[in-house]
Amino acid sequence: MTFDFKAFALKVASAHEWLGKEYRALRSGRAAPAILDSVFVSAYGSMAPLKSIASIGVEDARTLRVQPFDPSIAKDIEKGISSADLGVGTVSDGTTIRVTFQELTAERREQFVKLAKSKLEEARTAVRVARDEAWKEIQAGEKEGTLTEDDKFRLKDELQEKVDAANESLEEAFKKKESEMSS
């Protein structure tokens, strides 16, 4: 009898996606448009995500260029970026906003690496929860008689292989981010 690992795979994929999103928003000292994903701007009487009212491009390694679709809201965009407290500087020429990233200090890098490590642990926790749920389903299958004891232990080994592969992949993402922040 086979066991369907689809629910487990979806939860693992969700954990990977979440970690990737968190890492994209984590500052590395390099200009990355993803850091502005959390910025909302008061424009036209409501709060709007920055990426829906302006184009964001990389100008150089330490500078992003934010080009509002409507130049009249450039001041609002500059105010929104500043109030987001991302640790970046802003300079406006009236129609374009340049977002500058300061060189990271060794102490700040350590803080970011610790934060990245804690995000990794959160993702690993999600994988563990998914593993536990799948294991409970396997055990329930044995109790219902749809799985034999041999199937249960074979599936447990297969599940552990999938968990190990997921954790290895999460660890690779962390190492990549760590090296990015160290350079």
| Residue 100, SS3 per DSSP | strand
pLDDT tens for 100-140 read 877 777 887 888 888 889 999 999 999 999 999 999 999 99
Burial-class residue 81 by CB neighbours within 10 Å (0-12, 13-18, 19+).
buried
Domains 6-24+105-182 and 30-101 share a fold: no
Q: Give the amino acid at 98.
A: R
Residue-wise pLDDT for 77-106, tens only, equals 888 888 877 777 888 888 888 988 777 778
**Range 6-24+105-182 classified under CATH 1.20.990.10:** no
Domain boundaries 30-101, corresponding CATH code: 3.30.1360.40
Give the list of residues 6+ apart from residue 106 with CB closer than 8 angstroms, or none: none
Q: Indicate the SS3 state at residue 124.
A: helix
Give the start-to-end residue ranges of the domains of the chain: 6-24+105-182, 30-101
pTM: 0.68
